[in-house]
Amino acid sequence: MQKILEGVRILDLSRMLAGPYGSMLLGDLGAEVIKIEEPGSGDLTRTTSAQAALRGISAYFLSINRSKKSVTLNMKTEKGRAIFYELVKKADVVYDNFRPDALERLGCTYEILSKHNPGIICCSVSAFGHDGPYRDLPAYDVILQAIGGTMGLTGPEGGDPVLMGVPMGDLGGGIFGALAISAALYNREKTGCGQKLDISLLDSQISLLVYMAQTYIANGQVPKPRGTMHPLIAPFRAFKTRDGHIAVVAFQDKFFESFCRIIEREDLLTDERFDNLINRALNKTELYAILDTIFPRKTTAEWLAPLREAQIPSGPVNDIKDALNDIQVRHRKMVVEIDHPEIGRYEALGNPIKSSAMHDGEFMPPPALGQHTDEVLGALAGLSADEIKSLRNEGVI
């Protein structure tokens, strides 16, 4: 079986999180992703968080760099750039997450690279994009969540802004980058033309505001943090149980009727504050005050069984350990095993894209620094063993 993107070659200049996450998704789908790294040091995440290591290798790096090859190349040297241009001639995509001025200094702008390969697709994932007043400012996930409004929506009702538990300021840009590259590859099949893709992490955060932003535009009211509540419907929240928390959604009338029977409060069905979807939303504070006294009477499992039997959307509030061991997560191969030449077999997260055209759960392990340098430069740049040895001695690779 061929993977979806088999035959696509990507030169990946990205590092840290946003870029590497997107290129990993493309690699999982079958693209040949060649990670270009600095000789001697490589991606900073190789040595990030020594306390979060798996048998001596950075867990951070392992989590977002499988399905790739590693080539070391000093792009700051003239010889390094010349070799890179040779690789560009044999590539489909050049992917980076540099600031715009860094691309210009390295000679890797779309305008330059398209002269070497008119069909090349260049995708840049940067904090603020390649134009605008913030163009040259640095940023990380927390900055993007702050400026993009998502931090202002996250946290307990009436509390201070809270950073999301997963770094969506970075991950959102990686996902949009992978989507844009896939669309550009499809477009090139039809037109034969490459193109420049400019993905801003801030743009991505704004896009993720969806109905929260549209609600503000509609009525002028600024949404505030609401904990686990939905701003427009109820009940839609997590509740404290005897031994944990459970999330329940029962705002539709058919679900609310079953819900009230399960919690043994059928009187709520005739209470004019809660007798229809609109009234429940308007009076959710009063409704939650009642429900908060009911759910602690039983365990999460004791509530979950009848709620699921009644087809009421519900689930336990899991920590990471429980989430990774959930029977549905395991069934869908969202936790897989990968063989690594240094640390042996280890567990990693699977790919959420399932396809009848691919074997599921088979991934190439994250590469050692420069593991594929000789292979790639020999096959794609046409360099001899002696030439590669000389470049290594000069520090170019």
Specify the pairing of strand 195-200 against strand 121-126: parallel
Q: Is 170 a catalytic residue?
A: yes
Nearest Cα to Cα of residue 10 among 126, 95, 128? 95
Identity of residue 279 = N
Count of beta carbons in the 10 Å neighbourhood of residue 209: 16
List residues bridging with 34 in a β-sheet.
11, 69
- The identity of residue 350, as a single letter, is G
> Measuring CA to CA, how many Å separate 310 from each of 257, 307, 314?
10, 5, 10
Q: Looking at this protein, which amino acid is placed at residue 167?
A: P
Are the beta carbons of 151 and 161 closer than 8 angstroms?
yes
Rg (CA), the chain: 25
DSSP 269: G
Alpha helix positions (H), the chain: 18-28, 59-64, 78-89, 100-106, 110-116, 141-147, 168-191, 201-207, 210-219, 253-262, 277-282, 284-294, 300-309, 320-324, 327-331, 373-379, 385-394
User: Given phi > 0 = left and psi -120 to 50 = alpha, else beta, which region is 137?
Assistant: beta
Give the CA angle between residues 356, 357, 360 to the nearest 5°: 70
Among 28, 92, 170, 203, the one annotated catalytic = 170
Structure tokens at 172: 């959102």
Question: CA 344 from chain center: how many Å?
Answer: 26
Structure tokens at 82: 């010349």
Which residues have a catalytic role annotated?
Answer: 170
